[in-house]
């Protein structure tokens, strides 16, 4: 059976294009039933269909197969080619110390997360975590652009109606499910994540993760308490 990333990408690209399965199947020269099987991962398509789907949705085969986040198939060939803003000597976000501190908390915490996932060597978990965080950034940036610019939605390929209806949040849920599944099925030995070991392994960045855990816990417990008081 073909990889789940292909089936999900195929379905999301069609939804992003704003067309029905019947319309897409007609354009791709197959039956709606067969396209439904492809989108649900029930059947594996041949190479000819993959090429036709890439042309129809204007994406690369690597993107359709979930091998890259870039639609044109470009990948980062070397870690050193990726710009690292945190390494810049004067990295204070202009106009806001709070923004700089908040960014460092998130960047440090994400660094710990991916270092642990790297030690686990679980590619599916790494991909799901990347997708989840990328979609979160996408949502926040798109809201910011929409609020600050006229016709800000024109910059994005996902139609405004689908974005506002919650398509990205569906993607968050799907990637969280993939992440959990990949962790529960992992055959690798998990790294030691005890408090003392984390303090030793991440003497600086672990403090940021602890602060995020504490702040989120306070906020979530407060939200639950407020909800319980409202429903009394």
Asked if residue 93 and residue 203 are part of one domain, the reply reads yes
Q: Which domain holds residue 57?
A: 4-64
* Percent of the chain clearing pLDDT 70 (strictly above): 85
Based on the number of CB atoms within 10 Å of its own CB, is 24 exposed (0-12), middle (13-18) or buried (19 or more)?
buried
What SS3 state is found at 18?
coil
Query: Which tens digits make up the pLDDT trace of 165-214?
Result: 999 999 999 999 999 999 999 888 999 999 999 999 998 899 899 999 98
Q: What contacts 163, CB < 8 A, 6 or more positions away?
A: 142, 153, 156
Number of domains in the chain: 3
Same domain flag for 32 and 127: no
Residue 100's pLDDT is 76
Q: Is residue 154 part of a domain?
A: yes
Unique residue bearing structure tokens 């429903």:
231
Q: Which residue has the tokens 């929409």?
A: 146
**Is residue 91 predicted with pLDDT exceeding 60?**
no
Q: Is residue 151 included in any domain, yes or no? A: yes
Assess if residue 195 is contained within a domain: yes
Shared domain check, 54 and 133: no
pLDDT digits (tens, 9 = 90+) for 39-90: 888 888 988 999 999 999 988 888 888 766 667 665 544 445 444 555 555 5
Please tell me whether residues 96 and 140 are part of one structural domain.
no
Would the pTM count as exceeding 0.75?
no
197 and 225 in a single domain? The answer is: yes
Q: Rounded to an integer, what distance in angstroms lies between the CA atom of residue 24 and that of residue 158?
A: 17
| DSSP letter, residue 159 | -
Shared-domain flag, residues 134 and 96: no
- CATH number of the structural domain spanning residue 52: 1.10.260.40
């Amino acid at each position: 059976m073909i990889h789940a990333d292909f089936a999900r990408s195929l379905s999301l690209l069609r939804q992003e294009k704003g067309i029905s399965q019947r319309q897409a199947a007609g354009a791709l020269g197959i039956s709606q039933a067969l396209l439904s099987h492809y989108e649900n991962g029930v059947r594996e398509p041949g190479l000819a269909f993959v090429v036709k789907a890439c042309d129809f949705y204007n994406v690369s085969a690597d993107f359709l197969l979930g091998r890259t986040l870039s639609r044109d198939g470009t990948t980062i060939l070397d870690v050193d080619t990726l710009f690292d803003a945190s390494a810049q000597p004067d990295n204070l976000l202009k106009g806001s110390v709070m923004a700089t501190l908040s960014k460092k908390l998130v960047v440090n915490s994400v660094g710990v997360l991916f270092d642990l996932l790297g030690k686990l060597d679980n590619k599916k978990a790494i991909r799901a975590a990347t997708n989840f965080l990328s979609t979160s950034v996408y949502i926040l940036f798109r809201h910011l652009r929409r609020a600050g610019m006229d016709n800000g939605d024109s910059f994005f390929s996902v139609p405004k109606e689908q974005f506002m209806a919650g398509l990205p949040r569906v993607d968050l849920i799907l990637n969280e499910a993939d992440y959990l599944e990949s962790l529960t099925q992992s055959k690798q030995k998990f790294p030691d994540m005890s408090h003392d070991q984390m303090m030793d392994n991440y003497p600086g960045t672990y403090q940021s993760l602890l602060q995020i855990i504490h702040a989120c816990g306070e906020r979530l417990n407060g939200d639950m308490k407020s909800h319980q008081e409202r429903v009394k």
